[in-house]
Amino acid sequence: MMAIFKSDLMMYLVCGGSAFTISYMWADRALAWLHKRSLGQREEVLRLMSLMFVDTSRSKVTWMMLLSSFGLGFLLFLLLWPHFGLGVFMACVVTVVMWSIPRIIMESLWNRRCNRFVDQMVDGLTMMANGIKAGLSPQQCMERVQQNMPNPISQEFGLVLAEIRVGASLAEALTNLANRIPRQDVQMFVTAVNILQETGGNMAETFQTIVYVVRERQKIEKKIEAMTAQGMMQGTIITLVPLALLVLFYMVDPNYVKVLFTTTLGLIALFVMFTLQIVGGIAMRKIVRIKV
């Protein structure tokens, strides 16, 4: 008996010492990771909102992120009371997931805005090419685009013209435009204008060539989207089926799935399931997404 007690005591000491050592060595990195995954994403959200010309304050974004993560997690915990284990597990899952939701939403809106800007370049560059043929300067052509076309191209060209008025050169203003809209078609437009400003050349013909390239690229992208739509839908359905079945079984017979939320092994199984579902969904999405 004493030997067993001593062996158990030694095991507890070894496990406790190992846990203390690992916590001591990785505490800074763990705290840095938690900050980066929570409020650390606030700067990225603010940057994206600034790029989309959305006027906001740091405090509003902070409260939005806190309420969308910790607030919803705590609310879900209260709704699931008195099921303490289930409430803690679901609250932690919701909190961790909602940490990244504001950034994901802003990135989606920003990408949509960039894509819309590229779509508007076809009409905008056609208008600029006609203006160049009529003897107007690139700045005057951009003013025509700003006045006659909707956002976001009107906002972006307006900012380019505002930078020129306060002393920036056309090349610097267009370079800033390329940094705000990181798309290949925009880079091509900016590079062409900057080169032609220094070396000379037929700018109207260059704009027409860029318009042709943008149109052909859009045709290829639309064709690829149509061909990969089935794969995207299959990946989405496969990812959501386990969660839908879990909800269905819980509604039909709660005792059948209650063990998943009331036992340690069940919580581990749920964590592994959610992790594998997320990893599998991301992998399938990367496989079917083809960049042109």
- Opening angle at CA 181, ends 286 and 43, nearest 5: 80
pLDDT tens by residue, the chain, 292 residues: 444 444 556 655 666 666 556 655 665 665 566 666 666 678 888 888 888 888 888 888 888 887 887 788 888 788 877 777 667 777 777 787 788 888 888 998 999 999 899 989 989 999 999 998 888 888 899 999 999 999 899 999 999 999 999 988 888 999 999 999 998 889 988 998 888 888 877 888 888 888 888 888 888 888 887 877 777 787 788 888 888 888 888 788 878 887 877 777 887 888 888 888 888 877 877 777 766 5
CB contact set of 187 (below 8 Å; sequence gap of 6+): 178
Cα distances (angstroms) measured from residue 44 to each of 31, 67, 107, 113, 175: 19, 18, 9, 16, 21
- Opening angle at CA 265, ends 36 and 243, nearest 5: 65
For the chain, helix (H) and strand (E) counts, in that order, are 13, 0
For the chain, give every domain's residue range.
40-95, 116-201, 216-292
d(CA 51, CA 9): 59
Torsion on CA atoms 262, 265, 268, 270, rounded to nearest 10: -60
d(CA 3, CA 258): 40
Residue 126 · residue 119 · CB < 8 Å: no
pTM metric for this prediction:
0.71
- What does residue 43 show for φ and ψ, rounded to 5 degrees? -65, -40
